[in-house]
Structure 1
Amino acid sequence: MLWQGVQTRIAGVRKGDDLYLIPEEGDPLPPAGITVHGAIEDERRTSLMRTHSGLHVLCGVVFRDYGCLVTGGNMEPGVARMDFNLPEVPPGFKEAVEDACNAEIVADRRIDVRSLPRAEAFQIPDIIRTATNLVPPEVEEVRIVDIVGLDTQADGGTHVASTRQIGRLRVAKVENKGKGFRRVRIRIED
């Protein structure tokens, strides 16, 4: 955020009755009532876009090859995790998933974004890839992200234009998170 020639970096956002911006520790705070302007740090945003698109490739591969839905996830620039309802980890899972994801990345698949009326969006098979539908009932227009030929799902995040822009995806670790749940940790590399 910029104000009177000064920058305050935002470390996060907290939800309450309003959205509260959390400044980076030690950054100056603008005085009450002053006009501020938002600005996006392109390097961080691009890294998040690459990571988010990488998670969609991971989701598409695990759904296609193992039939598993997402039960949770989290991401930071260049690193992320996705949890799946995978009862058992088959032999060679980590390597097979990493190889399949990177094959999809190298395929340079286009990533299209569009919005559809809710009723039309929910007619698309498997449009929800999470174990729980996270699209609130009051949402009338559903944003669809389509990694053409791999993964089509409802999603509100930012993405790169094609899978090749993701870079290399490395499966760093597969963890057991309880009966029937597996966590896949990834890194996005150049």
Structure 2
Amino acid sequence: MTDALFADDAYLTQCTAVVTEAGPEGVVLDRTVFYPLGGGQPGDRGVLEWGDTQLRIVDTRRRRPDGAILHLPDEQVPLPPADTEVTARIDWDLRYRHMRMHTCLHLLGAVLKYPVTGGNISADRSRLDFDLPDAPDKDAITAELNALIRAGHPVGSRWIDEEDLDPALIRTMSVKPPSGVGRIRLLEIPGVDLQPCGGTHVRRTDEIGSATVVKVEKKGRRNRRVHVVLD
């Protein structure tokens, strides 16, 4: 298992690490600041550096079933051999955009208190799908969403034992928290949101900036897709 430093501090932009594997699947480090694709959030991009060499990383994925984090290079180039010490550095501008977006979607879920059937996060436009029969008003949602953002609510996380997870906290219908791992990470915005989430988030809601609900789509008899952009 790779030590996932981002799980405890999403603001780390780089770290030193040791290569444990390097091959066609990608590069595995003993620890990393790179977030792997999951929970609707894209994998991080960035670079690995050692000596005078810089290797561009275009995606990050988690390998199953062992949970190792794979850093995927942009092309078939010489990889750092095992036991090499490298500096792992993420594309911070992209990551921070994802952090703002991810936190914004938690607030969107707090405004629309319906089961979540799907979602996707990107740097420019994100969405959540809700089990909701009628289309909500875009302007009303935007106003409530920005009121929560401007309030500057603190955003934190904490770990609990898997057996202590209250099933009522699980809002996503299509994706469930991992089982058999022993611990579950909760995202907490006091008085606003509390749910299992392994993604990266900002420390305060006012870091998100202004958000706009730009579109609400009907994706089924009881499914509405809500699209959000950030200024």
Quote the Cα distance in structure 2 between the aligned partners of 1:12 and 1:37: 16
Identify which of 56, 78, 89 aligns with 1:9: 56
Where 1:159 maps in the other structure, the secondary structure is: coil
**TM-score, L = length of structure 1:** 0.83
Letter in 1 for 2:143: D
Q: Which residue number corresponds to residue 60 of structure 1?
A: 110
The residue aligned with 1:106 is 150
Larger proportion of helix: 1
- Which of 128, 144, 165 is residue 207 of structure 2 equivalent to? 165
What's the counterpart of residue 101 of structure 2?
51
Matched, 1:117 2:167: no
- Give the superposition deviation at 1:121: 2.7
What 5-or-longer segments of structure 1 have no aligned partner? none
Quote the residue 1:70 is aligned against.
116
CA contact (8 A) 2:162 2:179 kept: no
Q: Which runs of 5+ in 2 are unaligned?
A: 1-47
The correspondence for 1:86, drawn from 126, 132, 138, is 132
- Structure 2: distance between partners of 1:98 and 1:160: 19
Partner of 2:220, secondary structure, is coil
Residue pair 1:111, 1:145 contacting (<8 A) in 2 also: yes
Count of aligned residue pairs for this structure pair: 179
Mapped contact 1:61–1:150 kept (Cα < 8 A): no
| Cα-Cα RMSD | 2.2
**Identity within the alignment, %:** 36
Cα distance in 2, alignment partners of residues 76 and 169 from structure 1: 14
Equivalent residue, structure 2, for 1:22: 72
* Structure of greater relative contact order (alpha carbons < 8 Å, 6+ residues apart): 1
What SS does the aligned partner of 2:88 have? Answer: coil
State the TM-score, normalized to the length of structure 2. Answer: 0.69
Mapped partners of 2:62, 2:118: distance in 1: 19
Q: Is the 8 A contact 2:118 2:174 kept in 1?
A: no
2:197 is the alignment partner of 1:150: no
How far is the alpha carbon of 1:14 from its aligned partner? 4.9
Give 1:20 shift.
Answer: 4.5
Whichever structure has more strand as a proportion of its residues is 2
